[in-house]
């Protein structure tokens, strides 16, 4: 009967299905398989899924042994926004459980997660793209700047989607481990479309802290950073890197946002904004900061192992 349906109507019906149901439909016929695999259909399905705003929280629960070899037991759970922390949707079978390293989630976008090795935040040279819905993994090749080629360094990573080229990109900023070195930081970008790394020549005036997490919003990756002012000391800023234009930007934040220790940057589609996250999970939220700079305090929330949204 499906052979008698107009192609446009069939595409409209299938584009409304959940991902798991859609994947099962690939087995119906070659026609359906070709349609579902078509890039324009994938974009249409993604747009409809995002419009439903059925947000999910990605939650990591781990127990680590404090003695060598630092074995780690990690569980990855998906929760609907409205039911967190009860009633997880499902537990994801992470393909890296057997890997002898700590896995750090760099970011997520359109259902694709970027993960890197994480040994106390140093020498993150292995990275993967993981789509748990379709159970696909892309191993990202070794970057240009490694411990072997560069020496001791501090990496900062950011992941997002460049809508101008329909491309997923991983940004990697490498600082010398010795902060008084005259060596300038290096910036390189991995493109999923080209499957390779390339260097980006930028005069970076910021120092992104070693444990600063990245947040992706409005086509740009964001980090908490320090910048030297005209006078003594440094000032705190939020640095952005546009994946389309490949330029850095910055905004200053109010001092109270950094009064707490261990500030992290988070992004939640629930608010459609970026938040500064302290140990008590007090978030100072700003929206569309490239256009308007508006801050507000959110109510205090208890934080455990919330990873991403």
CATH code at position 67: 2.120.10.10
- What does the DSSP 8-state code read for residue 122? B
pLDDT of residue 271: 43
Whether residue 151 sits in one domain with residue 200: yes
pLDDT of residue 263: 47
Whether residue 210 sits in one domain with residue 69: yes
Whether residue 270 sits in one domain with residue 223: yes
Cβ count within 10 A of residue 177: 16
Cβ count within 10 A of residue 27: 8
Region for 166 from its dihedrals, namely left if φ exceeds 0, alpha if ψ lies in -120 to 50, beta otherwise: left
Whether residue 146 sits in one domain with residue 11: no
Whether residue 195 sits in one domain with residue 66: yes
Q: Report the C-alpha gap between 243 and 219 in whole angstroms.
A: 6
Task: Tell me how many domains the chain contains.
Answer: 2
Whether residue 13 sits in one domain with residue 70: no
- What does the DSSP 8-state code read for residue 245? T
Reference 114, options 123, 103, 101; nearest CA is: 103
pLDDT of residue 295: 42
Instruction: Output b/e per residue, 33-58; b: 16+ Cβ within 10 A.
Output: eebbeeeebeeebeeebeeeeeebbb
- Last residue within a domain, chosen from 50, 73, 88: 50
Q: Which residues contact 129 (CB under 8 A, 6 or more apart)?
A: 112, 113, 114, 115, 137, 138, 140, 168, 192
Assign residue 25 the CATH number of its domain.
Answer: 1.20.1280
Domain that holds residue 14: 2-50
The dihedral through the CA atoms of 200, 201, 205, 210 has a sign that is: positive
Whether residue 46 sits in one domain with residue 69: no
- The whole-number mean pLDDT for each consecutive block of 10 residues of the chain, a chain of 309 residues, reads 74 84 85 85 79 62 60 64 58 59 77 75 72 82 76 83 93 75 80 93 77 82 77 72 92 58 46 46 41 42 40
- What does the DSSP 8-state code read for residue 293? -
Cβ count within 10 A of residue 220: 22
- Phi/psi for 50 (5° steps) reads -65, -35
Whether residue 59 sits in one domain with residue 199: yes
Whether residue 162 sits in one domain with residue 239: yes
Whether residue 93 sits in one domain with residue 152: yes
pLDDT of residue 170: 96
Q: Report the C-alpha gap between 108 and 166 in whole angstroms.
A: 15
How many alpha carbons lie under 13 Å from residue 122 in its C-beta half-sphere? Answer: 7
Whether the full predicted model's pTM is greater than 0.75, yes or no, is no
- Last residue within a domain, chosen from 31, 50, 69: 50
Cβ count within 10 A of residue 151: 13
Whether residue 141 sits in one domain with residue 59: yes
Whether residue 233 sits in one domain with residue 136: yes
């Amino acid at each position: 009967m499906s052979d008698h349906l107009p192609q446009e109507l069939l595409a409209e019906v299938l584009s409304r299905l959940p991902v798991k149901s859609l994947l099962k439909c690939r087995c119906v016929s070659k026609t359906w398989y070709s349609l579902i695999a078509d890039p324009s259909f994938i974009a249409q399905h993604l747009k409809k899924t995002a419009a439903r705003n059925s947000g999910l929280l990605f939650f990591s629960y781990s127990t680590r042994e404090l003695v060598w070899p630092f074995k780690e037991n990690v569980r990855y759970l998906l929760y609907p926004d409205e039911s967190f922390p009860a009633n997880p949707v499902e537990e994801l079978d992470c393909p890296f459980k057997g890997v002898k390293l700590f896995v750090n989630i760099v970011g997520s976008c359109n259902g694709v997660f970027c993960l890197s090795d994480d040994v106390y935040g140093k020498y993150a040279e292995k990275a993967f793209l993981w789509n748990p819905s379709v159970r696909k993994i892309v191993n990202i090749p070794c970057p240009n700047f490694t411990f072997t080629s560069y020496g001791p360094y501090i990496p900062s990573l950011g992941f997002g989607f460049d809508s101008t080229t329909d491309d997923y990109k991983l940004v990697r900023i490498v600082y010398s481990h010795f902060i008084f070195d005259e060596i300038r930081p290096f910036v390189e970008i991995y493109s999923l479309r080209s499957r390779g790394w390339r260097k980006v020549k930028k005069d970076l005036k910021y120092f992104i802290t070693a444990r600063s997490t990245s947040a992706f919003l409005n086509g740009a990756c964001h980090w908490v950073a320090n910048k030297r002012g005209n006078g003594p000391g440094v000032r705190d800023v939020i640095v952005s890197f546009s994946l389309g234009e490949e330029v850095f930007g910055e905004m200053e934040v109010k001092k109270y946002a950094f009064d707490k220790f261990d500030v992290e940057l988070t992004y939640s589609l629930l608010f459609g904004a970026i938040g500064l996250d302290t140990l008590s999970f007090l978030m100072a939220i700003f929206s569309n900061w490239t256009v308007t700079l508006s801050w507000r305090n959110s109510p205090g929330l208890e934080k455990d192992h919330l990873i991403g949204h």
